[in-house]
Chain A
């Protein structure tokens, strides 16, 4: 893994390398270099499997972290690439030409985080949510509790009973003397 990181550092501006386990490392890469690095890893370093692509919302610092996890079936190791995107203008280059399933990940990220991938197939079609008109729900500023309180209403006719007193009154209506 160390050799790989060194080889990559010679070619690409990667930083903040963190080796989590002997077979798993994470590193940060610049937004503009990310797709070139991913293509290089796929074509020359045998990281042929896109495990997943997802985002983490760091609302306090004002950015999204995209995580691309790639797996090498020859060495059985993983490399996670972190890419920072500005929260206000979250747009990233698409990788649907590298893996067919990437378009699905990107479509979900557009819907759930509002991160755009121009050119990705069907990226604007809803994937999981239908008729959603609020902010993308996986963003941390989307409050699920507030949304459900505003959208739904408590069903009438329900009351909560203290189980002990309720059962006592039901089983011994005359009192348990």
Chain B
């Protein structure tokens, strides 16, 4: 077995390096809070020995707007336009989950068409979020132009969101009770045109990014996630799937009509940054395929929203529930506690970055070269606002 010379590195005591800053052997560097490639702000307090990271602490709080606290003082319908703001690149998962927990406790059934339109929205938003991520991942390894291409194509997707909901970034489309609109005339054709554009782009990205020798040399073997780490750190989503763990909420706990769609869970086995990029890249094709399947199944009628009670006097019986959905970063969840009043007692938002960006990143950063930290961080697809809510 390879036994590297660790004599120059700090002594390990109780699994933690003993770092004496006064010894002049170490350098502290504050990386962030701005990171090209990560949508949101967080800082990494890195301790370096030469160019190798020996200790990492994640600092969040730059985007704390107190959403959970704000929502405790707002009526259920007033929370609806707040929740999407917890995640900028993929707000629809928040909208869906908030609507789902409220509907469950209020005993509201939503129309068939609304269920399919919600799935369409969720898959479109997955694709949009991955397009944002792939630019960051390529940029972190020095491939700048890919971000320019993918963000342009993300904009084509945002045009479709604007057509559907009136909003480009925050859609506020999946209102409790259903959705706000049905598909506009000619939407299916324009969606198909955009999907074909995105497919063409992905073909080019495959050649330029995944066959690029620089990316392979830097990403292969970077940030290994071993199987025993999966449950110990609560790793979910593509980060777990790249380690060969076939877990996907859409398959395991199907919501909406995901059980009626034909798809396989995407997995890789190498468990490094390159494998995680491959999983996400293949999931972009999966989302395109799912959007096409969904479009064939959307019923064409005028029932896309259930009449809600007067939302200004809307009281929901006391209860407690949790709903989860698969976001691009893994399991996303909403925990709602109601007490029979017109206001939620507690809403807790479970974002996958909470574990990936703090406990996991702090663990994985150790022994990483400082130049690879950005690539490692983006390969976990962290998104800070869902940590601090």
- A-to-B contact residues, CB < 8 Å: 18, 20-21, 23-24, 26, 48-52, 54, 56-57, 67, 69, 73, 76, 78, 80, 99-101, 103-105, 126-130, 137-138, 140, 142, 144
State whether A127 and B61 are in contact (beta carbons under 8 Å apart), knowing that A26-B320, A52-B348, A144-B69 are contacts in the complex: yes
A66 and B43 alpha carbons, distance in the complex (Å): 29
Question: Could you jot down 15 A-B contacts, CB within 8 Å?
Answer: A20-B104, A50-B234, A52-B335, A54-B348, A73-B247, A73-B252, A76-B253, A100-B233, A100-B360, A126-B61, A127-B61, A128-B60, A129-B61, A137-B66, A137-B69
Q: Top 6 closest A-B pairs, CB basis? A: A101-B355, A128-B61, A101-B359, A48-B231, A56-B346, A54-B348
Q: Select from chain A the residue with minimum beta-carbon distance to B58.
A: A104
Q: Which A residues are CB-close (under 8 A) to B388? A: 128
Q: How far is the CB of A173 from chain B (nearest CB, A)?
A: 34
The verdict on B64 contacting chain A, using a C-beta distance below 8 Å, is yes
Q: Which A residues are CB-close (under 8 A) to B90? A: none
Q: How far is the CB of A24 from chain B (nearest CB, A)?
A: 6
The answer to whether A127 and B60 touch across the interface, beta carbons within 8 angstroms, is yes
Q: Of A23, A48, A104, A130, which is within 8 A of B61 by CB? A: A130
A78 and B72 alpha carbons, distance in the complex (Å): 25
State whether A51 and B232 are in contact (beta carbons under 8 Å apart), knowing that A56-B345, A127-B60 are contacts in the complex: no
Q: How far is the CB of B321 from chain A (nearest CB, A)?
A: 5
Q: How far is the CB of B121 from chain A (nearest CB, A)?
A: 23
Q: Which A residues are CB-close (under 8 A) to B348? A: 52, 54, 67
The verdict on B358 contacting chain A, using a C-beta distance below 8 Å, is yes
Q: Select from chain A the residue with minimum beta-carbon distance to B16.
A: A121
Main secondary structure of the interface of B (DSSP, over half): mixed
Which residues in window 229-254 of B have CB below 8 A to A? 231-234, 236, 247, 252-253
Q: Of B231, B247, B345, B358, which is within 8 A of A104 by CB? A: B358
Q: Which B residues are CB-close (under 8 A) to A130? A: 61
Q: Which A residues are CB-close (under 8 A) to B68? A: 138
Q: How far is the CB of B239 from chain A (nearest CB, A)?
A: 13
The answer to whether B73 and A52 touch across the interface, beta carbons within 8 angstroms, is no
A56 and B345 alpha carbons, distance in the complex (Å): 8
Interface size class of B (residues with CB under 8 A): 35 or more
Q: How far is the CB of A21 from chain B (nearest CB, A)?
A: 7
Q: Which A residues are CB-close (under 8 A) to B66? A: 137, 144
Which residues in window 300-335 of B have CB below 8 A to A? 319-322, 324, 331, 333, 335
The verdict on B35 contacting chain A, using a C-beta distance below 8 Å, is no
The verdict on B279 contacting chain A, using a C-beta distance below 8 Å, is no
Q: Which A residues are CB-close (under 8 A) to B234? A: 49-51, 99-101
The answer to whether A54 and B335 touch across the interface, beta carbons within 8 angstroms, is yes
The answer to whether B346 and A69 touch across the interface, beta carbons within 8 angstroms, is no
Q: Of A51, A101, A140, which is within 8 A of B72 by CB? A: A140
A30 and B5 alpha carbons, distance in the complex (Å): 50
The verdict on B180 contacting chain A, using a C-beta distance below 8 Å, is no
Contact with A along B210-233 (1 / 0, CB 8 A): 000000000000000000000111
The answer to whether B72 and A20 touch across the interface, beta carbons within 8 angstroms, is no
Q: Select from chain B the residue with minimum beta-carbon distance to A78.
A: B322
Contact with A along B142-168 (1 / 0, CB 8 A): 000000000000000000000000000
Q: Which A residues are CB-close (under 8 A) to B337? A: 56
Q: Which B residues are CB-close (under 8 A) to A20? A: 104, 319-321
